[in-house]
A and B are shown apart, each in its own frame.
Chain A
Amino acid sequence: GQNIDQPTEMTATEGAIVQINCTYQTSGFNGLFWYQQHAGEAPTFLSYNVLDGLEEKGRFSSFLSRSKGYSYLLLKELQMKDSASYLCAVMDSNYQLIWGAGTKLIIKP
């Protein structure tokens, strides 16, 4: 079966750095997406990785290792507004998105 694993919840301090991990087992691979979802709102697109390595976009970076079935989202200089759930999703060989359940990130002052 297809499976995406990410931690259920993480806590970090304002101004710090946090890394949210995602491991996956899917039928084929056509890229990995990270979305941010604030409580009661829709997911918003953060990043897309299809090749191995690190993609940096401002305070957010996303890393992919296809051989390990592993990705992480790195958030720097955390702000209170970064409190949200972060969803990892993999596009399989049929171009269907397989979603993780999300990691709820709690930022403390």
Chain B
Amino acid sequence: DAMVIQNPRYQVTQFGKPVTLSCSQTLNHNVMYWYQQKSSQAPKLLFHYYDKDFNNEADTPDNFQSRRPNTSFCFLDIRSPGLGDTAMYLCATSRTSGGADTQYFGPGTRLTVL
């Protein structure tokens, strides 16, 4: 089945210790997104890639970076996690970004910063 996969599903890290979250997709979609979602809040868009064209949201902290080495994979790097970065991190994909295409989500990585 075509899908969006995220690893790990749960991650615990220490304050200030770098962490990398990964996302892969078998949908062959051009666009990949990273969202941060805190409890009972709306998902907040951090980045998106249209193919290899990187788009950073204006209010995404510099602490967050992303890489997309190929169509199928995308990584979220948090260089120095703070307690406030505890959240669910959602990866999503869509066929294009220029149209009203549905975004399909992976299962998420629940990150806890201690």
Contact = CB atoms under 8 A, between A and B. Distances in A.
Interface residues of A, number: 23
Interface string B93-106: 00001111011111
Given A41-B107, A41-B108, A99 B102 contact: no
Contacts, number: 47
Nearest to A91: B100
A17 to B, nearest CB: 25
Interface in B67-114: 88, 90, 97-100, 102-108, 110
B111 to A, nearest CB: 13
B16 interface: no
Q: Decide if the interface of chain A is mainly helix, strand, loop or mixed.
A: loop
Contact of B42 (A33, A42, A87): A87
Interface residues of B, number: 20
Contacts of B104: 45
A78 B40 CA distance: 22
Nearest to A96: B45
Given A45-B104, A48-B102, A99 B43 contact: yes
10 contacts: A8-B40, A33-B102, A42-B106, A43-B43, A43-B105, A50-B100, A91-B100, A97-B45, A100-B42, A102-B42
Interface of A: 4, 8, 30-31, 33, 40-45, 48, 50, 87, 91, 95-97, 99-102, 104
